C-alpha cells in the first residue's frame, strides 16, 4: 500500500496545479478507482491538499509542512547520508532510537521526527522539541576512526548546520564550542554526539541535531538563551530565506541542506582533511578570545579561550599563563558574563 501511495503522490506532484484523471491513475498504478480514492484520502490525512472533480480527476494544490522522504528527497544531493530514511511523527528521542538500530544499519542512516517527547542535550538537560516547529534528527555513522577522534564529528555537524542555515536564510550563525550554534548570543541549534566504542575502534557514532526553526515564542526560562530561525529571520527582514506562504522557514529544504553539507564535510574528515574544518570552525567561533568558565564535575576555573587544536579540543589559558586542552566530553563551557 505504501508503494502505491508513493507512486500516486509522485504523479500528483509531477502535475501539481493540474488535474490527473482517475482513469490515468488507475492504469498507471494497476488498481481500481476505489483504491485510488482510498489512497487520496490517506494523503489528505497526512496534510496534502488535493482537489477532486468527477470528470477531471485529482489535483495536488498544496504539500504539508512535514519531513517525510517524499518531501525532503528532491532536495537531497547526497550519496548515502540520509538515504536510509527513518521518519516518525513522534519519538521520545531520535538519539535513543538511533542507538537501538540493528548492527547492520547502513552508514549515514537518518532518524527524523516531527516531535521529541524526551529530547535532551549534552549534559542531560531536556531539549524542547515541539511538533512541526524544528528539525529533530540523528545520524547513525560507522566511521573507521579511533575513539579519540570522534569529538571532531561534532565540529563537522556544527559547521554543516551553519552552512545550511546560511544557504537557506542568509543568516550566518556562530559556533559556541563544542556543540551549540548561536545567533545573536542565543542558541538556535544543539548537537549531541554519542559514541559506542572499544579500546581502539568505534562501533558506531550517533549525532543528534536539534534546530529551532519555526518556534515563535519560548517559555520565560528559555527566552534569554534560546532563539529560532524564524525569530531571527523576522528581525533582519532578509528576503533570501526560502519560506512557504505563511512566511515560515522551509524545514524540508533546510534539512536537506544540513545533510548535503554534512556529507561533504564528513568525507573530508574521513580522508584526514581536518585542518580546513577546524580553520572554518575557528573563524565562526563565538568562544575564542572570550573569558570562559570551565565547569567540571569537581568544580571549575576561569580562563581565556585561545585556540582549538587539530583534534577539536579547546585550548584555554589560565590566570598563571599555563595552557590546557579541554576535551568536549569532560567539561561544560560558559561565558563568564553569560551563556556565550
Best CATH choice for the domain 69-284 from the list 3.40.109.10, 3.30.930.10, 3.30.465.10, 2.60.40.10: 3.30.930.10
**Higher confidence at residue 322 or residue 242?**
322
Strands (E), the chain: 49-53, 57-62, 85-88, 109-113, 134-141, 174-176, 180-183, 186-197, 202-212, 291-296, 299-308, 314-317, 323-326, 332-335
Instruction: Report helix, strand or coil for 180.
Output: strand
Could you give the CA distance from residue 334 to residue 286 in angstroms, rounded to a whole number? 11
Cα 309 off chain centre by: 25
Q: Please, is 334 exposed, middle or buried when counting C-beta atoms within 10 Å of its C-beta (0-12, 13-18, 19+)?
A: middle
Could you give the CA distance from residue 264 to residue 249 in angstroms, rounded to a whole number? 23
Hey, which of 47-51, 62-66, 275-279 has the most confident mean pLDDT?
275-279
At 2-58, the pLDDT tens digits run 788 888 888 888 888 899 988 888 888 888 888 888 998 999 988 899 999 888 999
Residue 303: predicted pLDDT: 92
Residue 245: predicted pLDDT: 44
Give the residue among 152, 150, 156, 161 at the shortest CA–CA distance from 187. Answer: 161
Annotated binding residues for biotin: 93-95, 116, 120-122, 187
Annotated binding residues: 93-95, 116, 120-122, 187
Q: Cα–Cα distances in Å, from 53 out to 22, 56, 72, 142?
A: 9, 5, 29, 50
Q: Identify the band that residue 78 occupies on the pLDDT scale cut at 50, 70 and 90.
A: very high
**Higher confidence at residue 42 or residue 297?**
42
**Higher confidence at residue 103 or residue 244?**
103
Listed by start position, the domains of the chain span 2-62, 69-284, 291-335
Look at residue 254 and tell me whether its pLDDT is greater than 50: yes
Look at residue 332 and tell me whether its pLDDT is greater than 90: no
Phi and psi torsions of 170, nearest 5°: 85, -5
- The top-level CATH class assigned to 291-335 is mainly beta
Beta-carbon contacts of 49 under 8 Å, excluding residues fewer than 6 positions away, are 60, 61, 62
The fold of the 2-62 domain, in CATH, is: Arc Repressor Mutant, subunit A (1.10.10)
Q: Identify the band that residue 81 occupies on the pLDDT scale cut at 50, 70 and 90.
A: very high
Give the residue among 96, 131, 98 at the shortest CA–CA distance from 115. Answer: 131
| Range 153-161 average pLDDT | 98
| Mean pLDDT, rounded, of the chain | 90
At 181-240, the pLDDT tens digits run 999 999 999 999 999 999 889 999 999 999 999 999 888 888 889 999 999 988 876 545
Could you give the CA distance from residue 302 to residue 287 in angstroms, rounded to a whole number? 13
Residue 186: predicted pLDDT: 94
Amino acid at each position: 500500500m505504501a508503494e502505491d501511495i508513493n507512486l500516486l503522490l509522485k504523479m500528483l506532484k509531477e502535475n501539481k496545479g493540474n488535474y490527473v484523471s482517475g482513469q490515468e491513475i488507475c492504469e498507471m498504478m494497476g488498481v481500481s478507482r476505489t483504491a485510488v480514492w482510498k489512497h487520496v484520502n490517506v494523503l489528505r490525512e497526512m496534510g496534502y491538499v488535493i482537489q477532486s472533480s468527477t470528470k477531471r480527476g485529482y489535483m495536488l494544490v498544496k504539500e504539508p509542512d512535514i519531513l517525510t522522504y517524499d518531501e525532503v528527497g528532491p532536495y537531497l544531493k547526497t550519496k548515502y547520508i540520509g538515504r536510509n530514511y527513518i521518519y516518525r511523527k513522534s519519538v521520545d528521542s531520535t538519539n535513543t532510537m538511533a542507538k537501538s538500530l540493528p548492527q547492520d544499519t547502513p552508514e549515514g542512516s537518518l532518524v527524523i521526527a516531527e516531535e521529541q517527547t524526551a529530547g535532551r542535550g549534552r549534559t542531560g538537560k531536556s531539549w524542547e522539541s515541539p511538533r512541526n516547529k524544528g528539525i529533530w534528527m540523528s545520524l547513525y555513522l560507522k566511521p573507521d576512526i579511533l575513539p579519540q577522534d570522534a569529538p571532531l564529528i561534532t565540529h563537522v555537524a556544527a559547521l554543516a548546520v551553519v552552512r545550511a542555515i546560511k544557504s537557506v536564510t542568509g543568516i550566518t550563525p556562530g559556533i559556541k564550542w563544542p556543540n551549540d550554534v548561536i545567533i545573536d548570543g542565543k542558541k538556535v541549534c544543539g548537537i549531541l554526539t554519542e559514541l559506542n566504542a572499544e579500546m581502539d575502534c568505534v562501533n558506531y557514532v550517533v549525532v543528534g541535531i536539534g534546530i529551532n526553526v519555526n518556534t515563535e515564542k519560548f517559555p520565560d526560562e528559555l527566552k534569554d538563551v534560546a532563539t529560532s530561525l524564524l525569530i531571527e529571520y523576522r528581525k533582519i527582514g532578509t528576503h533570501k530565506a526560502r519560506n512557504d506562504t505563511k512566511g515560515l522557514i522551509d524545514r524540508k529544504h533546510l534539512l536537506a541542506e544540513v545533510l548535503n553539507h554534512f556529507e561533504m564535510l564528513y568525507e573530508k574528515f574521513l580522508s584526514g582533511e581536518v585542518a580546513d574544518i577546524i580553520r572554518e570552525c575557528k573563524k565562526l567561533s563565538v568562544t575564542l578570545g572570550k573569558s570562559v568558565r570551565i565547569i567540571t564535575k569537581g568544580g571549575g576555573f576561569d580562563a581565556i579561550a585561545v585556540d582549538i587544536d587539530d583534534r577539536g579540543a579547546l585550548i584555554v589559558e589560565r590566570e598563571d599563563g599555563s595552557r590546557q586542552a579541554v576535551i568536549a566530553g569532560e567539561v561544560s563551557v560558559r561565558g563568564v558574563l553569560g551563556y556565550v
